[in-house]
């Protein structure tokens, strides 16, 4: 049996195996409320050592796509309680990914049709999803406005409140989404942050929001139930940093003392090549910087892993490997990896929006 099946500790979380289900946006929560179908979807995949929920908006301002879930209203918390209760009844562990999209949004999704917020008033060259006549439609993002300095403590407080709501909803912990060109990542990177105040310019200033959010969340629910997702070099959602290695080495050094559950690192381009041309990055050095700063959380790796790559990663010191799209079409991915069984193919036409088709109707292996 593969050592991917070995149990592992991630902060306060004892996981049955080293396989995590990565966060996957599916656009099936109308009015930002998870449904019974969402509960079925996650429960089908509860054999993963850890389920990381789809990205979940901490406020309406933090929402960037239609029909994604939230964690800021009573009906959303109630919907998530059904999900977590069902996952736990199936023996699984689940954390929620806390999300503020920043500039990757559209005025149609914002309170009062306001402009999205960002570190700087720079429009993202990317698209988001609206529902038009019942059909998911990709549209250009709206021009954002720069957050005022006085607004930033409120953003930190929103993350803290969402973390508390997550525990109320029955989650085992949270993962702060600081990757893929969303708000925290926008503050980190020079291509999206041209501020001249204490949140812009130097590495320390650009990392300030991330450090404040993780400090607040870990203080609220405990570091051992708090994880973070980072993507040092991905070009997703039009983000780029002029010199990512010292930036992210600094970031993980600041996270070391917080006693986090895990660090979740996307290696290369999200959903793309593991090596990004012109953007070399030393992930071993990143992990070393975290450990040197006292960080004891589990080290989770992600991006285009198959079983062989995952086993090599664990043999080389990774604690957990996150699988994304293979979990969409294979609710029993853990069993399939254990048995070296073939994988179902993803139906790309049903990835975003819709109902059970391409969501909860993928077949599991026949019992043997």
Q: Tell whether the torsion through CA atoms of 140, 143, 149 and 155 is positive or negative.
A: negative
- Measured between alpha carbons, how far is 335 from 261 in angstroms, rounded to an integer? 25
- Count the neighbouring beta carbons within 10 Å of the beta carbon of residue 12: 15
Q: Judge whether 250 counts as a catalytic residue.
A: no
Using CA atoms, how far residue 124 sits from 145, 200, 291, in Å, is: 12, 18, 34
Helices (H) and strands (E) in the chain — how many of each? Answer: 11, 14
Which parts of the chain fold into alpha helices (H)?
A: 36-44, 74-89, 152-168, 183-188, 203-206, 208-221, 244-255, 283-292, 307-315, 325-329, 333-339
The whole-angstrom separation of Cα 13 and Cα 95 is: 10
Separation between Cα atoms, residue 263 and residue 10, nearest integer Å: 9
How far is Cα 18 from Cα 314, in angstroms, rounded to an integer? 9
**Active-site pick, 41, 42, 65, 182:** 182
**Residues designated catalytic:** 182
């Amino acid at each position: 049996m593969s050592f991917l099946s070995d149990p592992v500790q991630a902060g306060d979380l004892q996981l049955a195996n080293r396989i995590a289900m990565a966060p996957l946006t599916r656009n099936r929560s109308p009015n930002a409320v998870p449904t019974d179908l969402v509960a079925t979807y996650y429960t089908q995949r509860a054999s993963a050592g850890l389920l990381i929920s789809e990205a979940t908006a901490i406020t309406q301002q933090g929402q960037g796509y239609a029909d994604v879930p939230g964690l800021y209203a009573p009906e959303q918390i109630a919907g998530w309680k059904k999900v977590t209760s069902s996952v736990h009844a199936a023996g699984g562990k689940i954390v929620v990914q806390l999300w503020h999209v920043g500039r990757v949004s559209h005025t149609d999704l914002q309170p009062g049709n306001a402009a999205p917020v960002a570190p700087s008033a720079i429009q993202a060259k990317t698209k988001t999803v609206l529902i038009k006549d019942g059909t998911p439609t990709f549209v250009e993002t709206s021009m954002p406005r720069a957050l005022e300095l006085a607004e930033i403590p409120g953003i930190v407080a929103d993350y803290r409140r969402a973390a508390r709501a997550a525990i109320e909803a029955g989650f085992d912990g949270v993962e702060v989404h600081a990757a893929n060109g969303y708000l925290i990542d926008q503050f980190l990177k020079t291509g999206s942050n041209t501020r001249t105040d204490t949140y812009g310019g130097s590495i320390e200033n650009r990392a300030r929001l991330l450090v404040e959010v993780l400090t607040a969340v870990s203080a609220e629910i405990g570091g051992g139930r708090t994880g973070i997702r980072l993507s040092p070099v991905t070009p997703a959602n039009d983000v780029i940093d002029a010199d990512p290695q010292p930036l992210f080495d600094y970031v993980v050094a600041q996270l070391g003392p917080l006693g986090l559950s895990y660090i979740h690192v996307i290696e290369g381009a999200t959903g793309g090549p593991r090596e990004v041309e012109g953007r070399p990055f030393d992930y071993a050095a990143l992990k070393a910087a975290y450990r040197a700063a006292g960080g004891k959380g589990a080290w989770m790796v992600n991006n285009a892993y198959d079983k062989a790559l995952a086993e090599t990663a664990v043999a080389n010191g990774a604690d957990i490997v996150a699988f994304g799209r293979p979990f969409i079409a294979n609710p029993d991915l853990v069993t399939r990896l254990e048995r070296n069984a073939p994988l179902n193919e993803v139906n790309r036409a049903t990835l975003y929006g819709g109902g059970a088709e391409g969501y909860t109707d993928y077949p599991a292996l026949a019992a043997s």
